[in-house]
């Protein structure tokens, strides 16, 4: 796990610039650094040494090709055996395998890689730059072009160091951010800065670039024998965990009370697990109790950490800086503390991200089962009822919201598991014009999967807009902040091959979600964690916002010049007071606006 940077463009100070960009990523790789510089290209690398501790230094140059790489390739030993028939290797690292693979197979090497990656390869002969991001979006990769220079980096803050970077705020995505609680587009809040989409690669040459896709989520829902499917899941999870534990350093694991991390830990059996929770005064659910119980039964040491309100709020601005863009998921901040604790003991941890999207863990996935009785009513009748309650104010009410949703096509209302604002609400909050609408953002995915079931459509939307932009971003930034590598065994090409074939009954039923996964986990998880309902990472912000300390802090920010510039202050202050009174629960809407203001202060505050 590392940080990578680079640019193509002539500069008399290339060495100074690439080193400055590289140093902004020192937290991603404190063990070593390296640069490559020629007449028009400069590459930088910060290394967190995990595999091949002695000879794995980057960049690696082989003839006309030079590579910098962030991630882990879990099948690199198998690929290396294939490539050794033609190539000689100087290191024991997966980086060199990628480089030789690119020389042998070109961009098709990406289809062979099993792992997480952000890759940059420079061909000095062709003057061509190749960038690629893994199909799961585990590793970040940003790019920017201005004044004859094309640049890329693992984090936006490194791009800002280049003199050709013009730091400008992009307000067009503000409304979309409020709806998704993260930026859901290829665009970012920095004008001209784009995310390379997961499963895509980019080729840059002669001032122009072209982007192509190399991976698509493909599903084939098939009715299968229950026992056979359970065995397939068990076998592929054992195989994935075996591959994900390859390292020359100790591998630990994050552990909550849920089935995902419990299953991984029960298979991995690391020496240490790490859990965080909140003061029992606020938390209605004790994650630590269940995590310790599982660890004790497996004979594993569990390190736990109790997060206080004071430190959560104190560290918040710093975390927003490291996130690069605002991320308003409260659990993303909580993850900071468990990562900090884990980094005291290990350099690598496993985590359970991806299981909910691949195996259907969110409560919304049950709608096709729970509401089957209502779906039998002819659609024209359901749609008529829906239109009667189509105003967004009605949709705040649970029963009415049901009547609205069930009389609409999924694409008309579903933008993912954690929607915060509707477009109509965001339009009332945001002052800026020309805002991107959520339907315009999700439409291409609904069109591409128009022949798929509603369950698959939900999986696709949750995968591309919540897993990648929220959960995986939070894991990457919070772990890298402490030079800690996080691995996600559920997000594996072989695991997906099995998960993508499950039918609805294997995904959800009237009693639970992740039906088949829970059956597979039951045989190895030694306590009841395998059957616990989806909880997430419960953060007591609902209560904190009602307490004077945080209420007054948020109120001050809502009355600030930043809030005045971007938001309808009367509206957001009214939301805050409604929540304080206890009449309405709208802390997520409040926190999403507050998060943006805190983030904006870190990067643009002096410009208000």
Q: CA–CA distance from 331 to each of 111, 305, 307, 474, 582 (Å)?
A: 33, 14, 12, 9, 22
User: Could you give the CA distance from residue 467 to residue 474 in angstroms, rounded to a whole number?
Assistant: 10
Identify the active-site residue in 2, 179, 360, 586. Answer: 2
The confidence score (pLDDT) of residue 391 equals 65
Structure-model confidence comparison of residues 278 and 127, the more confident one: 127
The predicted-structure confidence for 584-597, as pLDDT tens digits, reads as follows 889 999 999 999 99
Structure confidence at residue 358 as a pLDDT band (50, 70, 90): very high
Residue 553 backbone dihedrals phi, psi, to 5 degrees = -65, -45
Token pair of 502, please?
Answer: 């499950």
The confidence score (pLDDT) of residue 532 equals 79
Domain range 2-213, its CATH number among 3.40.50.720, 3.60.20.10, 3.40.50.300, 1.10.1660.10: 3.60.20.10
- 303 bridge partner residues: 274
The owner of tokens 């949709």 is: 395
Residue 583 backbone dihedrals phi, psi, to 5 degrees = -75, -30
Give the list of residues 6+ apart from residue 159 with CB closer than 8 angstroms, or none.
5, 21, 142, 144, 151, 152, 153, 165, 190, 193
Residues 322, 323, 325: CA angle, nearest 5 degrees: 125
The confidence score (pLDDT) of residue 167 equals 97
Structure confidence at residue 7 as a pLDDT band (50, 70, 90): very high
Contact 124, 64 (CB under 8 A): yes
The dihedral through the CA atoms of 55, 57, 63, 65 has a sign that is: positive
Segment 386-399 shows an average pLDDT of 65
Token pair of 578, please?
Answer: 């409604």
- 120 bridge partner residues: 68, 131
Helix (H, G, I), strand (E, B) or coil at 303: strand
Structure confidence at residue 377 as a pLDDT band (50, 70, 90): confident
Token pair of 112, please?
Answer: 């062979």
Size of the chain in residues: 608
- Pick from 199, 197, 68, 217: nearest CA to 141: 197
Token pair of 67, please?
Answer: 């590579």
Contact 435, 175 (CB under 8 A): yes
pLDDT over 70 (residue 393): no
Structure confidence at residue 394 as a pLDDT band (50, 70, 90): low
The predicted-structure confidence for 450-508, as pLDDT tens digits, reads as follows 999 999 999 999 999 999 999 999 999 999 999 999 999 999 999 999 999 999 999 99
Percent of the chain with pLDDT over 70: 96
Active-site residue flag, 2? yes
User: Could you give the CA distance from residue 111 to residue 119 in angstroms, rounded to a whole number?
Assistant: 14
The confidence score (pLDDT) of residue 49 equals 78
Per-residue buried b or exposed e for 158-197, using 16+ beta carbons within 10 Å of the residue's own CB: bbbbbebbeeeeebbbbbbbbbbbbbbbebbbbebbbbbb
The owner of tokens 């609680």 is: 181
How many other C-beta atoms can be found within 10 angstroms of the C-beta atom of residue 77?
13
Segment 63-89 shows an average pLDDT of 96
Contact 50, 86 (CB under 8 A): no
How is the chain split into domains, by residue range?
2-213, 226-313+324-360+463-531, 376-452, 541-607
Contact 273, 301 (CB under 8 A): yes
Structure confidence at residue 385 as a pLDDT band (50, 70, 90): confident
- 71 bridge partner residues: 117
The confidence score (pLDDT) of residue 386 equals 76
Structure confidence at residue 369 as a pLDDT band (50, 70, 90): confident
Structure confidence at residue 384 as a pLDDT band (50, 70, 90): confident
Token pair of 592, please?
Answer: 């999403």
Contact 516, 551 (CB under 8 A): no
pLDDT over 60 (residue 395): no
User: What is the DSSP-derived secondary structure letter of residue 391?
Assistant: S
Contact 251, 346 (CB under 8 A): yes
User: What is the DSSP-derived secondary structure letter of residue 508?
Assistant: B
The predicted-structure confidence for 145-192, as pLDDT tens digits, reads as follows 999 999 999 999 999 999 999 999 999 999 999 999 999 999 999 999
Percent of the chain with pLDDT over 90: 81
Mean pLDDT of the chain: 93
Segment 406-435 shows an average pLDDT of 90
User: Could you give the CA distance from residue 213 to residue 441 in angstroms, rounded to a whole number?
Assistant: 18
Structure confidence at residue 376 as a pLDDT band (50, 70, 90): confident
Segment 554-579 shows an average pLDDT of 97
Residues 36, 41, 45: CA angle, nearest 5 degrees: 40
User: Could you give the CA distance from residue 10 to residue 1 in angstroms, rounded to a whole number?
Assistant: 29
Structure confidence at residue 56 as a pLDDT band (50, 70, 90): confident
Structure confidence at residue 285 as a pLDDT band (50, 70, 90): low
Contact 188, 469 (CB under 8 A): no
Fold of 226-313+324-360+463-531: Rossmann fold (3.40.50)
How many other C-beta atoms can be found within 10 angstroms of the C-beta atom of residue 485?
23
Q: What does the longest C-alpha to C-alpha distance in the chain come to?
A: 71
User: Could you give the CA distance from residue 542 to residue 144 in angstroms, rounded to a whole number?
Assistant: 38
Token pair of 171, please?
Answer: 């307000």
User: Could you give the CA distance from residue 228 to residue 161 in angstroms, rounded to a whole number?
Assistant: 54
User: Could you give the CA distance from residue 152 to residue 120 in angstroms, rounded to a whole number?
Assistant: 9
How many other C-beta atoms can be found within 10 angstroms of the C-beta atom of residue 150?
22
Secondary structure (H, E, C), 35-60:
EEECCCEEEEEEECCCCCCCCCCCCE
How many other C-beta atoms can be found within 10 angstroms of the C-beta atom of residue 331?
14
User: Could you give the CA distance from residue 120 to residue 438 in angstroms, rounded to a whole number?
Assistant: 32
- Pick from 397, 466, 395: nearest CA to 425: 395
The confidence score (pLDDT) of residue 396 equals 59
List the alpha helices (DSSP H) in 389-525.
Answer: 398-405, 423-429, 438-448, 454-462, 473-480, 493-499, 504-507, 515-522
Contact 491, 354 (CB under 8 A): yes
């Amino acid at each position: 796990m590392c940080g990578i940077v680079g640019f193509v463009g002539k500069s008399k100070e290339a060495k100074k610039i690439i080193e400055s960009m590289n140093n902004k990523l020192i937290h991603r790789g404190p063990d070593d650094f390296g640069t490559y510089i020629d007449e028009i290209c400069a590459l930088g690398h910060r290394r967190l040494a995990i595999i091949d501790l002695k000879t794995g230094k980057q960049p690696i140059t082989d003839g006309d090709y030079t590579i910098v790489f962030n991630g882990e390739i879990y099948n690199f030993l198998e690929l290396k055996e294939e490539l050794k028939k033609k190539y000689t290797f100087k290191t024991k690292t997966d980086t060199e395998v990628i480089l030789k693979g690119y020389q042998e197979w070109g961009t098709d090497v990406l289809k062979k890689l099993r792992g997480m990656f952000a890759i940059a390869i420079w061909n000095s002969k062709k003057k061509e730059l190749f960038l690629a991001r893994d199909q799961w979006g585990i590793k970040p990769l940003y790019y920017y072009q201005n004044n004859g220079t094309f640049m890329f980096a693992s984090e936006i803050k490194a791009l800002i160091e280049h003199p050709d970077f013009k730091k400008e705020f992009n307000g067009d995505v503000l409304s979309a951010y409020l709806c998704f609680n993260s930026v859901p587009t290829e665009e970012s809040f920095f004008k001209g800065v784009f995310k390379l989409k997961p499963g895509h690669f980019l080729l840059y040459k002669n001032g122009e670039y072209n982007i192509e896709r190399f991976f698509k989520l493909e599903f084939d829902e098939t009715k299968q024998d229950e026992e056979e499917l359970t065995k397939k899941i068990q076998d592929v999870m054992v195989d994935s965990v075996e591959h994900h534990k390859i390292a020359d350093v100790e591998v630990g694991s994050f552990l909550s009370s849920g089935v995902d991390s419990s299953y991984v830990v029960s298979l991995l059996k690391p020496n240490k697990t790490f859990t965080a929770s909140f003061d029992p005064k606020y938390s209605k659910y004790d994650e630590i109790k269940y995590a310790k119980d599982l660890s004790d039964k497996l004979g594993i040491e569990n390190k736990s950490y109790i997060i206080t309100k004071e430190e959560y709020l104190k560290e918040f601005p710093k975390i927003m800086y490291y996130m690069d863009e605002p991320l308003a998921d409260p659990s993303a901040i909580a993850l900071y503390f468990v990562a900090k604790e884990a980094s005291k003991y290990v350099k690598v941890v496993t985590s359970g991200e991806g299981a909910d999207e691949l195996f259907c863990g969110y409560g919304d996935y049950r709608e096709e089962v729970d509401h089957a009785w209502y779906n039998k009513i002819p659609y024209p009748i359901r749609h008529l009822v829906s239109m009667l309650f189509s105003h967004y104010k009605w949709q705040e009410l649970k029963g009415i919201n049901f009547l609205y949703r069930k009389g609409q096509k999924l694409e008309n209302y579903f933008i993912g598991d954690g929607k915060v604002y509707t477009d109509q609400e965001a339009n009332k909050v945001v002052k800026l014009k020309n805002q991107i609408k959520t339907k315009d953002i999700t439409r291409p995915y609904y069109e591409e999967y128009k022949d798929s079931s509603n369950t698959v459509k939900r999986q696709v939307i949750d995968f591309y807009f919540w897993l990648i932009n929220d959960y995986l971003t939070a894991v990457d930034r919070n772990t890298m902040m402490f030079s800690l590598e996080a691995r996600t065994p559920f997000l594996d090409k072989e695991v997906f091959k099995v998960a993508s074939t499950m039918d609805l009954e294997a995904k959800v039923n009237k009693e639970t979600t992740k039906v088949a996964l829970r059956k597979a986990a039951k045989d190895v998880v030694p306590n009841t964690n395998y059957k616990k309902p989806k909880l997430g990472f419960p953060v007591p912000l609902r209560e904190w916002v009602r307490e004077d300390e945080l209420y007054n802090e948020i109120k001050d920010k809502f009355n600030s010049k930043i809030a005045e510039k971007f938001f309808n202050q009367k509206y957001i202050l009214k939301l805050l007071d409604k929540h304080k009174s206890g009449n309405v629960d709208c802390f997520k809407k409040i926190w999403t606006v507050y998060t943006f203001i805190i983030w904006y202060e870190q990067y643009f505050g002096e410009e208000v």
